[in-house]
């Protein structure tokens, strides 16, 4: 512990270092703290080490007063109730993942870092490269926290370069495929039958699309509006059998033939609907694609688990049915689903990692802890034996997310490589293809070339 500071004074000092206002001790969850700064300490072998001690502060991009922030505050209380002598307090940091990463780098340098972080899936390799989290292998081996406990599709982003860096906390399941049931009934289609293949999706979308360019009464779907054109391309690329990264060769392969095919298919639909710009103008007039879906102006769309309940705030009468994401020949329904969200890991350079590990293990690999996360923030756990999964499955609108989690096969590029494939203007290349300003293959060739240059530079930096 820093010389001359009592425990409460140290925690207050750390708040100031993170630029936090007074009174934010009940924020919500992205970094947990409790031990004082210091060097990495590995646990003793043999029997389980001592339980958690003292106060654990965890930093969050969600503030108290938000649904997630309040839920995370309750999660901290649940942890304290099952770990006598240990408290969990929550702190808020504005600015999102990048801001939290910067704060961690700075506080590690100053020896005032918090011990645990909720690590964003799509920045895990970057956080590893920045040295802000440490491997969990020693603790996991001792406590028998093994691969078999977790969903197969999520494991590759937990283990990077052969080391375990984080456990699951709240998985984003991207995506199940949803139908607006009213639009299906009106078209004489089964409102519960989600298309399983790309061919079936194409055929159904044609039946559900009414009107002409710039004046559609209803759109069957909009293939580039799965939470933005990059998320959309990732989903359709996986559905077609494409990839973005080859870990065996450490090569960017955004120009994979099936990824090119997926983008060309998206461009084909843009043409069929009257052009990218015309459809975007229609959606803007309707208040956005998700509002259009809730109101029945779009018949089919991807959804996140947090978005589905919010559809009723747009249209109280909306009815939806969800199922596995469609797939092209050679890919099974739902396999295109890619997993992101937030995991949880131990921050580098701390003196008491046992207390940090106690929280990490409870949240990510304990039946009671994962159930608490489901009850408090509707988190999707990565622990296959979590009783929280049964809670989610009881809700017919959340069950598709559990079904998709069980069969998901993919991790986004940022979860398994230390650069952002879409950084700079590379994401713009995809939009330009959709706007027919350049061929799909050419756009993805440029993304591949420039991203590989960046990846090579990062690998060289890591060797220095």
What domains are defined for the chain? 7-172+340-407 (3.40.190.10), 177-337+415-463 (3.40.190.10)
Q: What is the pLDDT of residues 387-409, one digit of tens each?
A: 999 999 999 999 999 999 999 99
Neighbours of 190 (CB within 10 A): 12
pLDDT of residue 27: 33
Q: Which two tokens stand for residue 71?
A: 């839920």
Q: Which pTM does this prediction carry? A: 0.87
The 3-state DSSP class for residue 83 equals coil
Return the closest-CA partner of residue 166 out of 32, 317, 67: 32
User: How far is C-alpha 122 from the geometric centre of its chain's CA atoms?
Assistant: 7
Q: What is the pLDDT of residues 269-318, one digit of tens each?
A: 999 999 999 999 999 999 999 999 999 999 999 999 989 999 999 999 99
374 and 445 in contact (C-beta within 8 Å)? no
Q: List, in sequence order, every beta strand (DSSP E) within 256-368.
A: 300-302, 320-323, 338-347
pLDDT of residue 6: 27
pLDDT of residue 132: 95
Inter-axis angle of helices 353-365 and 367-377, nearest 10: 70
57 and 90 in contact (C-beta within 8 Å)? yes
pLDDT at 47 over 60: no
435 and 428 in contact (C-beta within 8 Å)? no
């Amino acid at each position: 512990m820093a010389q001359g500071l009592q425990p409460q004074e140290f925690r207050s000092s750390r708040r100031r270092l993170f630029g936090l206002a007074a009174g934010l001790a009940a924020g919500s969850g992205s970094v947990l703290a409790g031990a004082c700064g210091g060097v990495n300490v590995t646990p003793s072998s043999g029997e389980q080490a001592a339980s958690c001690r003292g106060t654990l502060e965890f930093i969050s991009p969600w503030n108290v007063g938000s649904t997630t922030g309040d839920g995370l505050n309750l999660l901290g209380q649940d942890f304290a109730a099952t770990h006598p002598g240990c408290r969990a307090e929550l702190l808020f940091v504005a600015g999102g993942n990048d801001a939290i990463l910067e704060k961690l780098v700075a506080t590690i340098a100053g020896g005032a870092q918090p011990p645990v972080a909720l690590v964003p899936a799509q920045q895990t390799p970057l956080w590893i490269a920045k040295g802000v989290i440490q491997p969990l292998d020693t603790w996991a081996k001792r406590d028998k926290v093994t691969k078999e406990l977790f969903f197969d599709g999520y494991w590759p982003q937990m283990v990077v370069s052969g080391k375990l860096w984080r456990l699951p906390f709240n998985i984003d399941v991207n995506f199940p495929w949803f139908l607006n049931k009213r639009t299906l009934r009106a078209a004489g289609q089964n409102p519960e039958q989600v298309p399983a293949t790309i061919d079936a999706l194409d055929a159904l979308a044609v039946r559900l699309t009414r009107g002409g360019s710039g004046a559609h009464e209803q759109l069957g779907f909009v293939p580039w509006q799965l939470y933005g054109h990059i998320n959309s391309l990732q989903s359709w690329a996986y559905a077609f059998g494409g990839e973005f990264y080859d870990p065996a060769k450490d090569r960017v392969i955004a120009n994979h033939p099936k990824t090119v095919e997926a983008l060309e298919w998206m461009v084909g639909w843009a043409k069929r609907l009257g052009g990218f710009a015309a459809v975007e103008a229609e959606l803007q007039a309707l208040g956005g694609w998700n509002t259009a879906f809730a109101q029945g102006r779009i018949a089919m769309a991807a959804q996140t688990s947090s978005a589905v309940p919010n559809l009723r705030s747009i249209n109280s009468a909306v009815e939806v049915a969800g199922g596995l994401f469609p797939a092209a020949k050679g890919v099974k329904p739902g396999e295109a689903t890619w997993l992101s969200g937030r995991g949880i890991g131990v921050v580098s350079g701390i003196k008491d990692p046992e207390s940090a590990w106690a929280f990490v293990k409870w949240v990510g690999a304990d039946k009671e802890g994962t159930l608490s996360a489901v009850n408090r923030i509707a988190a999707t756990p990565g622990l296959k034996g979590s009783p929280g999964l049964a809670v989610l499955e009881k809700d017919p609108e959340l069950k598709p997310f559990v079904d998709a989690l069980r069969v998901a096969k993919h991790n986004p590029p940022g979860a398994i490589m230390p650069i952002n494939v879409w950084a700079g203007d590379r994401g713009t290349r995809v939009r330009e293809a959709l706007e027919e300003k350049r061929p799909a293959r050419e756009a993805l060739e440029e993304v591949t070339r420039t991203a590989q240059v960046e990846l090579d530079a990062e690998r060289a930096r890591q060797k220095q």
